[in-house]
A = this chain, B = another copy of it.
Amino acid sequence: MADGEQQRADRSITIYDVARAAGVAPSTVSRAFSRPGRVNAETATRIHRIAEELGYRRNPLASALPTGRSGMLALVVTDVTNPVYAPIIRGAGLAAQEGGYTLLLHDTREDPETEREALERTVPVVEGIIMASSRRSDAALRTVASRRPMVVLNRAVSGVTSIFADNQRGMRRVAEHLGELGHETIHYLAGPETSWADGMRWQALQAAGMDLELKIRRVGPNAPTVAGGMAAVESLGDARPTAISAYNDLVAIGAMRALGQMRVVAPDEVSVVGFDNIFGSDFGTPALTTVASPLHAMGKGAVELLLERLGGGAPRTDDPVVLPVRLVVRDSTGPCREPHRRR
């Protein structure tokens, strides 16, 4: 009312209204908005002005129908609540915005049924999909990929565009670091059984251990959470590891907490290192030594790969995009001073 722009909500302004007011055909209005080059400059400005005056806004849903381009991308994550996803979501959102796309978020809560349902709803609507840390089988993912352009994040699926952090290098650095500190055995607190990243990390750690002459023990699988880390430590019984490499930061934090309750404190009696360098991993005492994953870059990169593809580029399905990591040494790791270690 203040602006005199008052209008009934029941019917929105269409290109027809603008066309009538501008004295041109609807298709011209449409062109003026979708391909500015293809219309007389003067007419175009006039149309834009009138559209502005009328308060016209294009209906993306309507244009999605004939073109098949909805301007939406889906990002499906297993657990929004996990801090790893925050930077990923931000990175993805940023790239999406830059590309003129809108992000649809699906939180599957680690539930396969919810994931299936989400995909069911989202696939017909979006132009592309990013699956982060999906727990589904390669085959299932390929099926989805066959219906829509897709990129998998934090995972490799042959035949599907993949992007992830350099888990191998990361674990190698962990082993080197711990080895340099004099540790001889590393206990790996595993992640979920179905996690691809867990498999990678475990294998890489084993390989590095072999190479550096360190013993590696696996404990798990565990939930990729603080609770999972605590449970893992408790499952250790009387065993007293001097060095722990956890599947991720949450597990590492959980481990330190459980250890703390048993009065064994890092870095003095035990060294623990996480993975991902999530927000908050440096809040605790001691601040966690961890491998920094390029989370933001992963999210950003994933949608960029998708957009490239949507822009007509060939799908990059052969070589996955592997992003560099780096070891962030903080206070949770220190020289091995194992009490029952005789020298």
Contact = CB atoms under 8 A, between A and B. Distances in A.
A314 B86 CA distance: 35
Contacts of A60: 121, 124-125
A335 interface: no
A324 interface: no
A93 B80 contact: yes
A104 B73 CA distance: 10
Contacts of A97: 114, 117-118
A106 to B, nearest CB: 8
A106 B102 CA distance: 8
A150 to B, nearest CB: 12
A277 to B, nearest CB: 13
A255 to B, nearest CB: 12
Contact of A104 (B65, B104, B107, B121): B104
A285 interface: yes
A231 interface: no
Copies in the complex: 2
B57 A61 contact: no
A9 B146 contact: yes
A102 B86 contact: no
B120 A57 contact: yes
A200 B126 CA distance: 40
A157 B120 CA distance: 37
A87 interface: yes
A290 interface: no
Interface in A82-121: 82-83, 86-87, 89-90, 93-94, 97, 102-107, 109, 114, 117-118, 120-121
A124 B90 contact: no
A279 interface: yes
Nearest to A280: B280
Interface in A145-160: 146-147
A239 interface: no
A138 to B, nearest CB: 14
A284 B287 CA distance: 9
Contacts of A107: 89-90, 93-94
A25 B105 CA distance: 36
A94 B118 CA distance: 11
A301 to B, nearest CB: 17
B81 A279 contact: yes
A62 B65 contact: yes
Contact of A81 (B86, B103, B118): B86
B105 A59 contact: no
7 contacts: A59-B124, A80-B89, A80-B90, A102-B121, A103-B105, A279-B280, A284-B284
Given A57-B120, A81-B279, 5 more contacts: A61-B61, A61-B64, A97-B117, A102-B121, A104-B104
